A and B are shown apart, each in its own frame.
Chain A
């Protein structure tokens, strides 16, 4: 397993951070965002985490059948 390059970590987290900040920033209202209740925020974190785990498992399934020896 190779580790992700710092540049990729940076670009991904900066982009994600920017999107999340927009959602809670003073600009949020003009973009149509509203504050989320805490339970909803936690639910979303759980959904995202589960998705990533499932994606890691599904990736191998997607790669294997008929894969070149």
Chain B
């Protein structure tokens, strides 16, 4: 394939690459792309999951217990008992079939959901830019990327507008790498300024990329996929695993005990052995993985109806256990539709020049258009921008928090800067007076400007400052150093009204035991204003500057009593999430920005929304299809429901089923014959398994979804001790009645015992399913 010769593809001339990949700047045709997709395979690093079902069957049969049982049955078949052999094989095949069918269907449903929120790339096909699922990319495709996008494959940069990529995956460095086209002789990927690699992401600017390698042929895609998939198991998964180990030990002990006692009493060896193994099979909660998958998938489907798409099934538990939800306010707590309220100059009167400058700056901005720019554009629809053209720009980033454009009209050039008010103020040395003069800023003027910003912010409005500076006519490029000595023209004031239903959603979350914390990049006044409007039970506020002063330990101590965080930088979001987790909270983080991805990843439950940046959606465990906290509240209920239903299965397995097998083991010691034949034990187990298929669909008690649910091993063990003992007590009573009152022989004893044990085992679900942990 084209893999090897293109090892250092970035050192080849662009035209050479076009020729080699038989493609062109307009991209491939659909036919070519389909052809290549068949040749090179999909652009994924994981194996296609097609062969899975066969592998799964193999794995089930290879399980030690099942194989021991099969071997034992085969031996008993070879010694003449062919009927038993046939029945045992039938029972095993039915059990495995039941298990596989359920699990396979559930996994397919979950997979389909996950695909529905898969990342798309803007690909040029047949000369038209089309959003295409990333796994459909092929070498030779031409892809358009913008800030927030994941780089979907390896390739070279054909065009760049200040594109910067986060290549921490390769370099370990958090600083974005500048990406631009041009000949490059680099020997290693991090030095290749003209190359983009799968698994990295664009943090600012835009780029057009020619795809050179896809899927497993990419250099780092594998690492990236592994990094995202290798997540530590949740508390629930660890709990289930521990429980599994306890049951396993008990099973081994009980099996050996039964075997030993039966041999000591000189019972038939083969039958005793088969009975012991059948008991072990009955004790193993072999359906637990299937029940978990099915319950989770069922939960995921129900959540999808409520407009939350689950990407990682295990996160459903964490959602149910979540007791703190961190969110930015914009879009979730407030309307995403931000409106431009005013555009005052120094005299606090709306100033047309301010609006015009802001509109020009916004019009020519590439990269992510913020809602603020949309608001300016719709407000300034009537302002004529004719004659203006853009020469260069410095896009927005979270460190500078401003956007600059170098523009020209009638041969006069100027730079227009728009951004956070205090940043601009500190870089301004003059001001536009309402009468048209440009005067230097003196202290009273500066104070007056600061007062405008402060007054607006105190009303919960967002404020951007607009400034400009004339540039020499020969300057075609803009540098960061140009953003100084500015002439401040005025402010754009935006209002982002709280959502009408956000207050209700927050109240619902609080009632459900979930504390909402706001982590915002906005100023303290804005954050406080929104919190008040939403009736958030606020307990204090920390600013980014204050958080920076705190050590991790002091932060963890303060974090309980502080719900509002203003002017928080991206890495502080992650710090806050980690501090909350350190305090023992199960933390959710809802974010959509490029800079939210690390915090989304750090949280127990990473949430993002449809339409958020690729990196945020990729990092998230769940995607909300609508920006509405009510959807999260719905999702939490589903999470707790799922947890409650899995707990029903666990309780059944540990108390009823376990008690039954225990009494069977004891009875085998005291009876002169086996209490059930091995086949009857297996049949008992199969029908019991069958009865539990309905559990994932079951309703749950209100009280079970009222509070966050966490795995509590002590509670389960206590339940097991009480219910298991009760079950054994009744088995013993049956035992006594059968032996003493009815003087039952082996066959009658087994028949009655079978009926009693299967009826108690199955019917007790209707007792166990309702359960109130508060008595």
| Chain A interface residues toward B at CB < 8 A | 1-5, 7-12, 14-16, 18-20, 22-23, 28, 30-37, 39-41, 43-44, 47-48, 50-52, 54-56, 58-69
The yes or no answer to B76 lying at the interface (CB within 8 A) is no
Q: Contact check: which of B684, B695, B699, B767 meets A56 at CB < 8 Å?
A: B767
The yes or no answer to B740 lying at the interface (CB within 8 A) is no
CA distance A35 to B750 in the complex (A): 11
Known: A8-B769, A52-B764, A55-B723. A44 touches B752 (CB 8 A): yes
- Per-residue contact bits, chain B 374-406, to A (CB 8 Å; 1 contact, 0 not): 000000000000000000000000000000000
Residue contact B714 to A12, C-beta cutoff 8 Å = no
Question: Separation in Å of the B435 CB from the closest CB of chain A?
Answer: 70
The yes or no answer to B766 lying at the interface (CB within 8 A) is yes
Residue contact B748 to A34, C-beta cutoff 8 Å = yes
Closest partner residue, chain A, to B689 (CB atom) = A15
CA distance A18 to B693 in the complex (A): 14
Residue contact B687 to A19, C-beta cutoff 8 Å = yes
Residue contact A33 to B697, C-beta cutoff 8 Å = no
| Sample of 27 A–B contacts (CB below 8 Å) | A2-B700, A2-B770, A4-B766, A7-B698, A8-B698, A11-B695, A12-B762, A14-B691, A18-B690, A19-B683, A19-B687, A22-B683, A23-B755, A31-B683, A33-B754, A34-B747, A40-B744, A40-B752, A44-B756, A48-B756, A50-B730, A52-B763, A55-B767, A59-B723, A59-B768, A63-B771, A65-B718
For the A-B complex, the count of residue pairs with Cβ-Cβ distances under 8 Å equals: 175
Closest partner residue, chain B, to A12 (CB atom) = B691
The yes or no answer to B760 lying at the interface (CB within 8 A) is yes
- Chain B residues near A67: list those with CB within 8 A: 715, 773-775
- Chain B residues near A30: list those with CB within 8 A: 83, 87
- Chain A residues near B690: list those with CB within 8 A: 11, 14-15, 18
CA distance A22 to B508 in the complex (A): 50
Q: Contact check: which of A8, A23, A64 meets B754 at CB < 8 Å?
A: A23
Residue contact A62 to B718, C-beta cutoff 8 Å = yes
Known: A5-B697, A12-B765, A48-B763. A33 touches B772 (CB 8 A): no
Question: Separation in Å of the B252 CB from the closest CB of chain A?
Answer: 26
Question: Separation in Å of the A40 CB from the closest CB of chain B?
Answer: 6
Residue contact A48 to B759, C-beta cutoff 8 Å = yes
The yes or no answer to B701 lying at the interface (CB within 8 A) is yes
Residue contact B698 to A19, C-beta cutoff 8 Å = no
CA distance A61 to B719 in the complex (A): 9
- Chain B residues near A61: list those with CB within 8 A: 722
Shortest 4 CB-CB contacts between residues of A and residues of B: A8-B694, A11-B694, A15-B691, A62-B722
The yes or no answer to B264 lying at the interface (CB within 8 A) is no
Question: Separation in Å of the A1 CB from the closest CB of chain B?
Answer: 6
- Chain B residues near A33: list those with CB within 8 A: 680, 747, 750-751, 754
The yes or no answer to B737 lying at the interface (CB within 8 A) is yes
Q: Contact check: which of B680, B691, B699, B751 meets A4 at CB < 8 Å?
A: B699
The yes or no answer to B742 lying at the interface (CB within 8 A) is yes
CA distance A30 to B748 in the complex (A): 14
Question: Separation in Å of the A5 CB from the closest CB of chain B?
Answer: 4
The yes or no answer to B702 lying at the interface (CB within 8 A) is yes
CA distance A43 to B700 in the complex (A): 33
Interface core residue of B719, B726, B755 (most chain A CB under 10 Å): B755
Additional 11 contacts, C-beta under 8 A, given A14-B690, A61-B722, A67-B774? A7-B693, A11-B693, A11-B694, A31-B679, A33-B751, A47-B730, A47-B756, A59-B722, A60-B775, A63-B773, A67-B775
Question: Separation in Å of the A34 CB from the closest CB of chain B?
Answer: 4
CA distance A61 to B718 in the complex (A): 10
CA distance A12 to B593 in the complex (A): 48
- Chain B residues near A59: list those with CB within 8 A: 722-723, 767-768, 771
Residue contact A58 to B722, C-beta cutoff 8 Å = yes
- Chain A residues near B688: list those with CB within 8 A: 15
Residue contact A4 to B769, C-beta cutoff 8 Å = yes
Residue contact A4 to B683, C-beta cutoff 8 Å = no
CA distance A50 to B677 in the complex (A): 26
Residue contact A16 to B700, C-beta cutoff 8 Å = no
